[in-house]
Amino acid sequence: MAEQRHSRLSLSGTGTMIANSSIRTKVIWMLGLTMGLFVLTASSFLGNQREINDARQLADHTNVVLDRTADLLVQLLRQESNLRGYLLTHQEAFLAPYQAAEQSFDSDVAALLKLTVDNAEQQARYHRIADMMQQWRDEVAHPEVAFVQSSPRGDEARAMVATGRGRTMTDAIHMQINQAADTESALLKIRNGALSDQLDNTHELAIAALVLGFVFCVLSLLVAERTLATPMRRLTELTGRLSDGDLDLDVPYGRRGDEIGAIARAIESLRDAALQVRNREWLKNHLTQLGAHASKPREYNEFGQAVLSYLCPLLGAGYGVLLHAHEDGALQAIGGYGYTERRGQARVTRDGLTAECLRRGQPVTLKPVPDDYVRITSSLGNAAPRIVQFWPLRGATTTIGVLELASFAEFDERTTELVTEATAMLGLMLEALGNALRTRELLEESRAQSEELQASEEALRVQQEELRTANEALNTKNEALEEQGLRLRASEEELRAQTEELRTTNESLGEKSRELNAFNDRLLAFQQELEVKNRDLEQASRYKSEFLANMSHELRTPLNSLLILAKDLADNGTGNLTGEQVESAQIVYDSGRNLLNLINDILDLSKIEAGRMDVQWETVELQAITANAERNFRRVAQDRGLRFTVDIAAGLPPKIHSDGSRIAQILTNLLGNAFKFTHQGEVRLTIARADDDALPVLPGALQRERTVALTVQDSGIGIAAEKLARLFQPFEQGDGTTSRRYGGTGLGLSISRALAHLLGGDIVVGSTPGQGSRFTLLLPDDGAVDHAVNGDDTDVAPAHTALATALPVIEVPMPAAEPATVAEVPATEVPRVAQIPDDREQLQPGDTCILVVEDDGAFARVLADMTRRKGYRVLVATDGQSGLALARHYRPTGILLDVDLPVMSGWTVMEQLKADAATRQIPVHFVSANDDVSRGMAMGAVGFVTKPATRESLDAAFQRVLGSSEGTRRKVLVVEDDPVARRAVSHLLSKQPIDLHEADTAADGLDRISTQAYDCIILDLTLPDASGFEFLERLAQRGPVPPVVIYSARELTREEDLRLREYTDSIVIKGAQTPGRLLDEVSLFLHAVKKPSSPTSTAQTPSDLAERTVLVVDDDMRNVFALSKTLRGQGLKVHVAQDGHKALLQLEQHPEIECVLMDVMMPGMDGYEATREIRKQPQWRELPVIAVTAKAMKGDREKCLAAGANDYLTKPIDVDKLLSMMRAWLPPK
């Protein structure tokens, strides 16, 4: 219904134009509208900005006028005061400031006249001020100065001042200046108001532009969702169903004129073609089976019963009669189905519908059927059929029978076509049966006549004997003998006539034999047509596989962006992410890698089906296979507490000719499954010749003396016998229910067997439920039988590299190698590498210098060039001993070190560097094809890059080396009450560039965290004043939680492990093998986090869901960790449960829970059952339950709602949609 609704929406009004336009046109329209909106907004902003600038300039102009006016008043006052001082004191010191004030006053007036040229009122006022000032000077100031200069008597000057002669004039000037200032202040207020209005308009325009842009983006997303995303999802789903063989589907969007419509019409054409193929296949199969049933009988009655016994159940007919026409036109029933009058000699008159069908040779239909015509009966009752149909059975030239069928329902087009073609075939077969019966009758008659002739001849011989013995007596009876001779001649004449009749019969039999041969030819043609249809079906399947295989680029391209961006965030190159954000990005990256593996599996299977999977034949060493398997799965075995043994039997060739990467892929699948389904006991990998007892018969053309058997045997749960036959089918799983315990897609074994076949071998399996399974990969010593003729290159390299890169790298801590005793080599004797000049001659004190120790000259040159481009000096050594000597002599800033070096290995160089106090603090970064990362980090390296290295990884290596050399140290807090354990951790991390702080109680640890920031916390769960769980809860209440590594001796229950996964994904259980893993976990955080967060982190802004309580029910720890962290970031309180039983327990223990996020597929009690159990309790009937599932199959939503869920959400979860859904269902507080 949803698809039809979208289709109607997209085909109405404007939607028709949008839907029928191409995707390119849609994108152009969206981009055009976006650019138009941007141009319009930008133009509006520019116009407003111009007006704001104009208003600001006017305001500035007014401020200048006000400043000049104020200065005018100041200069007036200076003139007055200096004039008065001069008059009173007669000192020339007052006269110079007075004259300067006169000049400043005049210049201010001139400037104001220029500034107010656009204001007539102010112009008049300033002219008036200038005139009044000039009048004051002429009448008061200048005469008084002249009088003082001419009369030295001070008392007369003082008398002139006391008269107040010029006071009135200066007061009037003061008043004019104040009026001018008031006018300008009022004008400034008006202009500031205009500027404020323009700023408000700009703010409103910005808000309007943001709202309009948001609305436009939402509309664009809705249009894209409705016209592109939804139709593509629907068509993709239909394509999947079509590829799975589901042909009963309706294809929407066929009337659209864009690419969606073209795809829909193509899918519809594929469906119609597949339907035609399936119908023809169904028709041919049933015709073939009917022919097989009808070819066995040797009598008419047997023939009729065989035909009706097959046809009537197939067609759903409750009544059927097969009638055979005699030469006189009468019809006789030779078979019946649901037929009560079983009289073998029953005759049918030449009248009626049956005779009419026989005469016309055309089908006849009787509808409706009268109630008293015929009835279909059974032990439960009887009823009249709704339709009776008559079909003629035509022989080679005439109609020889009639098939009469009665049914409660009319036949559809497919069954009608089947009956039509079946009657044509049955007519020929009935005619052939009649000919065979007549031939048999003639043969019987001929045989009787021959026996009768032989008897006559015997009697004749007896008579002749009697005649010879009684010759004399016969002489008297010559007449009687002559009569007997006449009878004998007559008998011979009759015998010749019988011989002629027998010859005619033989010719008729030959004709019938030719007709049978022609019928067999037609059957052969039918079979050939059926084979053509089968090839067409296989070709359609190959088209599907080729389509999926060719979609590799389109599938991987968007996922590649996701992985690159997630990896970039996880690497935290800018250093602005917290440890928790880095861990979230790493989870996104890991989930993307899992999705990429799934896509690779599907594409591998498609390539195999399409015949496009390539095999690279090479020489593969058996020792390399076992070494890689042991190295990559040893850690898995230790983590799961299983024994893992690898054996190679004696007498095997050291190498085989095969594809190393494909062997590694197969073994990875088999070993991964073995560890996945084994909880205790052991997993064993054995390479030997095929065992006679275990494999008495080898599949295919494999020869026991030239076949290598790689056997993976475990003591796990085993496989039921009924599952073994379907084990290697694609998408087949032992448990496909929603409550299954083990995940997976069911593609691994299918791809593995297909790859084994490509390599010329096979995979055989044996299993006993509860005791384990045994998978054996059988491979020929010299590769596939036919690979040589394909032109493969026989000159191949060993497969070390292929095996190393194909198997997943699982880091395993290794013990440090014993220190090697080497001879000291002075730096002056270290030869310079001719092809790679370094900077040892140009080194100056204080230079940043990087030492490159690498035996590959080309790669060493790359590293040297990168160092120089970064602005640093470089030293180069091509063997370990030379590198050690250069390091001791020059004390470089950092070292890039290879492992596999001549003279002295990189491990030994590292040990010597760390053993020497002078070089111990130099940061060393490994760059090597060796993948023993844990060993390198345990020896004190700041990083480890595995070849082939990317530019990004090398840039990161430089950053780590230089960052460590600059004194960048990380802070690690160990919260542990046992002093011995604290010392052990301190010793383990002593070679790392860190500052280690210790706390023996939870309170002490929290106090330290509140005062300073830490890059990593190592936490024991058993503390004297609080448990580790309480410590984490208190820490989470204060703000973001730093990276935490749980290091405890306790064995965790499933519930405890689930609680810890809310805060961290790094849990290490103390034991003999755990120091290396603890070092790995801590190093991961130290090298991933660049900058510690602030010790007083500000809490996130609470949302409208803050302080609400939610229960997350999911068995996947990654989903629990990611979802609970996101919800806590919104201010929610989160409880978790890993299955339905624990969810019910959590609801009982925490009645404050207001909403439940319920995963559907969980072990034990799945989400459907858990939701039903919740709804049975009165107190939880109104509790919002949101179902979450990754299946997204048709009908899932209805099943969830029927179980009692309020709403439905598919994975991957859209957080915004989830929060909106929770807001809709959570009642207001």
Nearest residue to 107 (alpha-carbon basis) of 72, 73, 81, 131: 72
The arrangement of strands across the sheet holding 1185-1189 comes to 1133-1137, 1109-1113, 1155-1159, 1185-1189, 1207-1210
Residues 6+ apart with CB under 8 A from 393: 322, 399, 400, 401, 402, 403, 423, 426, 427, 430
The amino acid at residue 267 is I
Nearest Cα to Cα of residue 191 among 52, 390, 30, 43: 52
When pLDDT is averaged across residues 334-354 and rounded to a whole number, the result is 66
The Cα 1106–Cα 1128 span in angstroms is 9
Residue labelled with tokens 């890689």: 628
Of residues 1076, 1078, 1093, the one with CA closest to residue 970: 1093
β-partners of residue 1047 are 1068
pLDDT of 744 > 60? The answer is no
C-beta of residue 739 within 8 angstroms of C-beta of residue 1163: yes
Give the closest residue to 935 by CA, choosing from 983, 962, 963, 897: 897
Q: Tens of pLDDT along 765-824? A: 888 888 888 889 888 887 644 443 333 333 333 333 333 333 333 333 333 333 333 334
Let me know: does 565 contact 555? Beta carbons within 8 Å: no
Q: What is the pLDDT of residue 40?
A: 84
How long a stretch of residues is the chain? 1229
CA distance 1155 to 1220: 13
The DSSP secondary structure of 894-956, one letter per residue, reads EEEE-SS-SSS-HHHHHHHHHHSTTTTTS-EEEEES---HHHHHHTT-SEEEESSPPHHHHHH
Residue 1148: band (very low, low, confident or very high) from pLDDT cuts 50, 70, 90: very high
| DSSP code for 1096 | T
d(CA 988, CA 998): 14
Position 509, amino acid: L
CA distance 202 to 195: 11
pLDDT tier at 1228 (50, 70, 90 boundaries)?
Answer: confident
The pLDDT assigned to 886 comes to: 92
Rounded to whole angstroms, the Cα distance separating 541 from 519 reads 33
DSSP 8-state class, residue 1040: P
Residue 959 has pLDDT above 90, yes or no: no
Q: Which of 841, 861, 864 is nearest to 851 (CA)?
A: 864
**In angstroms, what CA-CA distances link 1165 with 288, 429, 1146, 1170, 1171?**
49, 61, 14, 6, 10
933-945: average pLDDT? 79
Place of tokens 């973001």: 1040
DSSP for 36-87 reads HHHHHHHHHHHHHHHHHHHHHHHHHHHHHHHHHHHHHHHHHHHHHHHHHHHH
Q: In this prediction, what percent of the chain has a pLDDT beyond 70?
A: 76
Q: How far apart are CA 336 and CA 403, in angstroms?
A: 10
| Tokens standing for residue 18 | 């949008």
pLDDT at 1153 over 90: yes
**Exposed, middle or buried by CB within 10 Å (0-12, 13-18, 19+), for 51?**
middle
> Who's near 505: CB < 8 A, 6+ residues apart?
439, 442, 446
- Give the confidence band of 1152 by pLDDT, cuts at 50, 70, 90: very high
pLDDT of residue 851: 94
Query: Other C-beta atoms within 10 Å of 938: how many?
Result: 21
Q: Cis ω on the peptide bond leading into residue 948 (within 30° of 0)?
A: yes
What's at 1053, amino acid-wise? T
- Which of 43-52, 210-219, 296-305, 1071-1080 shows the lowest mean pLDDT across its residues? 1071-1080
**Can you read off the two tokens belonging to residue 521?**
């030819």
d(CA 230, CA 420) in angstroms, rounded, equals: 45
Over range 1195-1223, report the average pLDDT.
80
Other CB atoms within a 10 A radius of the CB of residue 867 amount to 24
- Domain extents for the chain? 23-229, 282-427, 615-686+705-784, 827-965, 969-1091, 1101-1229
1122 Cα distance to chain centroid:
17
What is the helix, strand, coil percentage profile of the chain, to 5? 55, 15, 30
Give the pLDDT mean for 1182-1205. Answer: 79
The whole-number average pLDDT for the span 430-434 is 84
Please give the pLDDT value at position 559. Answer: 55
Query: Which of 337, 338, 341, 358 is CA-nearest to residue 349?
Result: 358
| pLDDT, mean of residues 12-20 | 59
Residue 1075 has pLDDT above 50, yes or no: yes
The CATH number of the domain covering residues in 615-686+705-784: 3.30.565.10
Structure confidence by residue, pLDDT tens digits, 522-540: 777 777 777 777 777 667 6
pTM comes to 0.30
**1092 residue type, one letter:** P
For residue 14, give the nearest of 32, 27, 26 by alpha carbon.
26
Residue 107 burial (CB count, 10 A)? 14
How far from 1084 is each of 571, 933, 943, CA to CA, in Å?
Answer: 10, 11, 10
Closest CA to 1079 of 958, 1022, 994: 994
Sign for the pseudo-dihedral over CA of 901, 906, 912, 916? positive
Over 8-44, what HEC string results? Answer: HHHCCCHHHHHHHCCHHHHHHHHHHHHHHHHHHHHHH
In this chain, the answer to whether the domains covering 969-1091 and 1101-1229 adopt an identical fold is yes
Q: Please answer whether residues 384 and 408 qualify as being in contact, where contact means their C-beta atoms are separated by less than 8 angstroms.
A: no
Determine the Cα–Cα distance for residues 372 and 382; give it in Å rounded to an integer. Answer: 12
Mean pLDDT, to the nearest integer, of 237-256? 78
Question: Integer distance in angstroms from the first to the last C-alpha of the chain?
Answer: 37
Average pLDDT value for the chain: 76
Residue 450 has pLDDT above 80, yes or no: no
Provide the pLDDT confidence category of residue 15 given band limits of 50, 70 and 90. low
Let me know if 155 is exposed, middle or buried by CB neighbors in 10 A (0-12, 13-18, 19+).
Answer: exposed
At residue 921 the predicted structure's pLDDT band, cuts being 50, 70 and 90, is confident
**CA neighbor of 711 nearest in space, from 614, 777, 640, 636:** 777
Q: Does the structure show a pLDDT above 80 at 962?
A: no
At residue 1149 the predicted structure's pLDDT band, cuts being 50, 70 and 90, is: very high
What is the dotted CATH code of the domain comprising 1101-1229? 3.40.50.2300
CATH number of 827-965: 3.40.50.2300
Please report, for residues 581, 990, 1089, the alpha-carbon distance to residue 568 in angstroms, rounded to integers and kept in the order given.
Answer: 12, 30, 13
Query: Confidence band (pLDDT; 50, 70, 90) for 551?
Result: low
Q: What is the pLDDT of residue 1112?
A: 92
**The token pair that represents 115 in the structure block:** 């500034």
What's the pLDDT score for residue 1156? 94
Task: Please give the Cα distance from 646 to 462 (Å, whole number).
Answer: 96
User: How many Å apart are CA 597 and CA 808, to the nearest integer?
Assistant: 12
Residue 140 pLDDT greater than 60, yes or no: yes
- Amino acid letter, residue 167: R
Encode pLDDT of 202-211 as tens digits: 888 888 888 8
In degrees rounded to 5, what are phi and psi of residue 411?
A: -75, 140
Which position has the higher pLDDT, 912 or 812? 912
For 282-427, the fitting CATH number among 2.40.50.140, 1.10.1060.10, 3.30.450.40, 3.30.420.40 is: 3.30.450.40
Burial of residue 528 (number of CB atoms within 10 Å: 0-12, 13-18, 19+):
exposed
- Alpha-carbon 960 to chain mean position: 33
- At 1097 the pLDDT is 36
Structure-block tokens of residue 55: 């208003």
- Stretch 341-347: mean pLDDT, rounded? 45
CATH topology of domain 969-1091: Rossmann fold (3.40.50)
pLDDT surpasses 50 at 344: no
Pick the more confident residue, 415 or 247.
Answer: 415
> For 156-199, what is each residue's pLDDT tens digit?
555 555 555 677 788 888 888 888 888 888 887 887 887 787 78
Contacts of 1018 (CB under 8 A, 6+ apart): 972, 973, 974, 975, 976, 985, 1045, 1047, 1078, 1082
DSSP lists the bridge partners of residue 376 as 383
Query: Is residue 733 very low, low, confident or very high in pLDDT (cuts 50, 70, 90)?
Result: low
In the predicted structure, residue 487 carries a pLDDT above the cut 90: no
pLDDT at 111 over 80: yes
Tokens of 636: 């898995």
